[in-house]
Structure 1
Amino acid sequence: MLSASEAALRAAEHVTAMTGRCAECVVGVERAGEDGWRVTVEVVETRRIPDSADILAVYDAEVDADGELVAYRRARRYSRGRVERG
């Protein structure tokens, strides 16, 4: 069974491979059942000048106990400078 940190690393690699964009950071990790992990990965979708105008996206990825990608989807897009409330 993968540790949370190993699952996060594998999920970030899978999101990078699937989207063609580099993962910026992992912003969430949680168990998905007994055999896997659900990982939330932030990606820069469009770089702009200044950096505060970049368009970011958050992807939810699920990896199994072996670190293989089971599912992924883009959850939302937003400007880097936008602050979320709540």
Structure 2
Amino acid sequence: MNTKSTSQAHRSDDPERPRGRDDTDTSRSSHSSRPSGDSRGSRSSHSSDDSGNPDRPKAPRHGKGGDDVADDRPGPMDVLRQARAQLAELTGMTAESVSSFEQTEDGWALEIEVMELARVPDTMSLMASYQVDLDSAGQLTGYRRVRRYERGRADAHRQGGR
């Protein structure tokens, strides 16, 4: 008669338990190879193993061929990178941050912060927020400046980036 409790039977040092892919980090190549019927969560307790190995390719989460996306739309990080690069090319100003980001029916809408005029001290530099619209493929379709402000001043009348 087996008197082991359920928690003891699932311990990784149990000699009767077969070693699975969660017991060793060398057998896991990506999350996309996991069968769709796998009942385990998408994140394991071994997720820190990936950060120590910079040579290991990361599994794609969005984009072409990914399990999470049904069409050819780029993922959110790709859209952010494309929007910043395209706005910089059109305006000649480098995007400092993205303060608002949302998916729309037609594509994506972002609010990007840029420095328009550098001043000393830096808290007096003139900043601007640009509303940027992109199509579903991540191509910029339009932009406009929606506000201009000094970097060091709080914006009391606006909340949540809109």
TM normalised by structure 1 equals: 0.91
Give the gaps of 5 or more residues in structure 2: 1-72
From 107, 110, 114, the counterpart of 1:39: 110
Q: Which residue of 2 aligns with 1:49?
A: 120
**Does 1:63 pair with 2:119?**
no
Residues 42 and 56, structure 1, Cα contact 8 Å, conserved in 2 = yes
Q: Which residue of 2 aligns with 1:4?
A: 76
Residues 39 and 60, structure 1, Cα contact 8 Å, conserved in 2 = yes
Residues 32 and 62, structure 1, Cα contact 8 Å, conserved in 2 = no
Report how many residues are paired: 85
Rg comparison, structure with higher value: 2
Give the gaps of 5 or more residues in structure 1: none
Give the Cα–Cα distance (whole angstroms) in 2 for the partners of residues 32 and 18 of structure 1: 23
Give the Cα–Cα distance (whole angstroms) in 1 for the partners of residues 108 and 137 of structure 2: 10
Structure 1 stretches of 4+ moved >3 Å: none
Q: Which has the higher contact order (CA 8 A, sep 6+)?
A: 1
Please provide the CA RMSD for this pair. Answer: 1.1
